[in-house]
Amino acid sequence: MLAAIQPFLSGGASKTANLPENATVEDFSNIFIRAWEKGVKCVAPYRSNSKGSQPLNVSKDAVNQNLSINISHPVKRKLPDDRPGHHHKFRLGGQSGFLNFGFYPDSGELGEMFAEISKGGSTLNGLMNTVAISVSMMLQYGIPPHVISDAYKELKFEPSGITSNPDILFASSIPDYIGKFIDFLLVSKGQEKVQEEKSNKIDLSGPPCTICHCLTVRNGTCYYCPNCGETTGCS
């Protein structure tokens, strides 16, 4: 393979020549001689188990260098037909909506979400159904809820504004509200370990925001609100 492409290159392409653990000095010598005869500029012989760790391992039982490769696939963890749930109604920017969450009965972990927009039209309602399906699929394939919520938070598009939820006073979009509510839901269900670890990285020691009243974060000589984006003068 190296000999076939070398005439088309001004430099030298290299390939590892993997040799068994019992390879001899003569075997290595033959590798370099064959490379020279074929006009190959670079070659990297490697004897198996000559280092403490290596990316490629061949079992001793392999016959005719046929490798058996086990590839792991993500496993979907389905919810039972009967499972506990949480129903939530919200209002954002004059738009009402409903969020329904399902939990695994054995562990209490979040496992699915349904979303419906009241009088939102087919486009907006279809978009929210798509978001809910994506959230449910990610949860059931083992993606941590806080990773999903972080992906949706801070998305900015209409409807946005003040919400009806005293725990989430402002949202920049419906997905932003969903992400923030998932975080709130996890804390209320006693799954706050990840949230505590994340919040310890942010110093919420500033004065309350004048818009949404959440605690602000120092940004140089002024403060900004991580909830609604309001600042005290800094950009």
Write the pLDDT tens digit of every residue in 29-54.
888 898 888 888 888 888 887 776 66
Whether the upstream peptide bond of residue 105 has omega within 30° of 0, thus cis, is no
Confidence of residue 196 (pLDDT cuts 50, 70, 90): very low
* Local structure of 140: helix, strand or coil: helix
Whether 97 and 161 share a structural domain: yes
Distance separating alpha carbons of residues 12 and 101, to the nearest angstrom: 58
Instruction: Tell whether 80 is covered by a domain.
Output: no
Q: In the prediction, which pLDDT does 45 show?
A: 86
Based on the fold, state whether residues 90 and 182 are members of the same structural domain.
yes
Same domain, 91 and 186: yes
Q: 140 vs 40, 101, 105, 181, CA distance in Å?
A: 50, 13, 14, 19
- Is 73 a domain residue? no
Residues 94 and 194 in one domain: yes
Q: Average pLDDT in the 108-134 region?
A: 85
For residue 122, give the 3-state DSSP assignment: helix
> What pLDDT is attached to residue 194?
43
Rounded average pLDDT over 107-125: 82
Helix (H) or strand (E) holding 199: helix 193-199
Any domain includes 185: yes
Higher pLDDT, 68 or 174: 174
Please state, in angstroms and rounded to a whole number, the distance separating the CA atoms of residues 40 and 62.
29
Q: What's the chain's average pLDDT?
A: 79
Structural domain includes residue 72? no
For residues 97 and 91, what is the distance between their CA atoms, to the nearest angstrom? 6
Let me know whether 231 and 157 are in one domain.
no
Mean pLDDT of all residues in 141-166: 86
Residue 74 maps to a domain: no
**So what's the pLDDT on residue 100?**
93
pLDDT at 145 over 50: yes
Strand partners of residue 163: 92
Q: Do residues 42 and 95 share a domain?
A: no
How many residues are given for the chain? 235
pLDDT value of position 198: 43
Q: Domain total for the chain?
A: 3
Evaluate if residue 200 carries a pLDDT over 50.
no
List the structure tokens of 212: 């949404």
99 & 127 share domain: yes
More confident residue, 184 or 122: 184
Q: Are residues 152 and 108 in the same domain?
A: yes
Residue 205 has a pLDDT of 56
Q: Tell me, yes or no, whether 186 and 224 share the same domain.
A: no
* pLDDT band per the 50, 70, 90 thresholds, residue 150: confident
Nearest to 100 by CA among 162, 185, 28: 185
Count of CB atoms within 10 A of residue 111's CB?
Answer: 22
137 has pLDDT over 90: yes
* DSSP-derived secondary structure letter, 206: S
What is the pLDDT, as a whole number, of residue 67?
46
Position 57 confidence tier, pLDDT thresholds 50, 70, 90: low
67: tokens are 């490798």
Residue 142 belongs to a domain: yes
Under the banding of pLDDT at 50, 70 and 90, the label for residue 87 is very high
Please give the residue range of the domain that contains residue 225.
Answer: 202-235
**Structure tokens that stand for 195 in this block:** 């949230």
Which of 85, 84, 80, 20 lies closest to 49, judged by CA?
A: 20
How many other C-beta atoms can be found within 10 angstroms of the C-beta atom of residue 227? Answer: 24
Same domain as 221, residue 168: no
Same domain (yes/no): 103, 188: yes
The pLDDT value given to residue 135: 93
Same domain? 191 vs 143: yes
